[in-house]
Amino acid sequence: MVSRRVEDCVRRISGGAQLGAMVGFTFGAIAGGMEAMGYREIPASQKVGVVLRKSLGGSVAFGLFVAVGTLVRGGGC
């Protein structure tokens, strides 16, 4: 059994990570789309790969950043 305080802390950190992941994915998709438009010589399937790599990378990085920020700011965790 885990105390209610720990459950609340984990829930807040998880929410921060999810929010950060959504924001990171969105901005990664925008940045990846802009980068993919610059590549005229590669086929569309590879452009989709560029967008997905940027989106997933941004999602992981920003999700982790916001989760740690939530942990630090939470104080009571």
pLDDT number for residue 1: 82
Which of 6, 3, 19 shows the shortest CA–CA distance to 76? 6
Average pLDDT, whole number, for the chain?
A: 92
**Domain boundaries of the chain, sorted by first residue:** 23-71
Segment 27-44 shows an average pLDDT of 93
pLDDT number for residue 16: 93
pLDDT of 46 above 70: yes
Q: Whole-prediction pTM value?
A: 0.84
Q: Classify residue 1 as exposed, middle or buried by CB count within 10 Å of its CB (0-12, 13-18, 19+).
A: exposed
